[in-house]
């Protein structure tokens, strides 16, 4: 099983590489119609992902789907916060207050500190 730090780092790398939130018709999505994945969706293996997962918050996701990776259950609080960082972006995006990268640079270090993790901003191309 991955450590919390490994899961956090994988999500951070994904979000920076993707460059924008995963949204369908203005709503956040685990997997968007254009192939993007949110902070939680990127850690759901393709083999277990189903459209039924959409529109469910992290707590409901782990309660309803027993096929998720063990890390989802072990680090549920962290994944919930990562989901909120991604989902809160839709409000920021619509208000055009921050760029996606500015939002991540602001929110992810705070989240890392909250969980006793380190935050390393990925370099372009990582």
For the entire predicted model, the pTM comes to: 0.86
DSSP 8-class letter at 44: S
pLDDT of residue 95: 60
Task: Give the pLDDT confidence score for residue 116 in this predicted structure.
Answer: 97
Strands 27-28 and 23-24, how do they pair? antiparallel
Mean pLDDT per 10-residue interval, the chain, length 126 residues? 95 88 84 92 92 89 88 93 78 63 83 94 65
Domain presence at residue 18 = yes
Flag whether 28 is in a domain.
yes
Q: What are phi and psi of 24, to 5 degrees?
A: -120, 120
Classify residue 16: in a domain, yes or no: yes
Q: Is 60 helix (H, G, I), strand (E, B) or coil?
A: helix
**Is residue 120 in some structural domain?**
no
Asked if residue 123 belongs to a domain, the reply is no
Looking at residue 110, its pLDDT comes to 92
- Domain with 86, as residue range(s), is 4-114
Q: Is residue 124 part of a domain?
A: no
Question: Is 29 inside any structural domain?
Answer: yes
Position 47 in a domain = yes
Domain count, the chain: 1
Note whether 24 and 32 are within 8 A (CB).
Answer: yes
Return the ∠ at Cα 7 (arms to 48 and 11), rounded to 5°. Answer: 80
State residue 49's pLDDT score. Answer: 92
């Amino acid at each position: 099983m991955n450590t919390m730090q490994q899961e956090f780092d994988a999500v951070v790398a994904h979000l920076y590489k993707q460059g924008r939130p995963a949204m369908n018709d203005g709503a956040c999505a685990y997997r968007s119609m254009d192939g993007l994945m949110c902070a939680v969706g990127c850690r759901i293996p393709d083999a277990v992902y189903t459209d039924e997962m959409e529109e469910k918050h992290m707590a409901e996701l782990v309660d309803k789907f027993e096929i998720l990776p063990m890390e989802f259950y072990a680090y549920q609080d962290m994944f919930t916060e990562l989901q909120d960082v991604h989902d809160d972006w839709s409000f920021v995006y619509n208000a055009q207050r921050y760029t996606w990268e500015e939002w991540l640079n602001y929110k992810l270090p705070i989240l890392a500190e909250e969980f006793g993790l380190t935050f390393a901003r990925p370099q372009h191309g990582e």
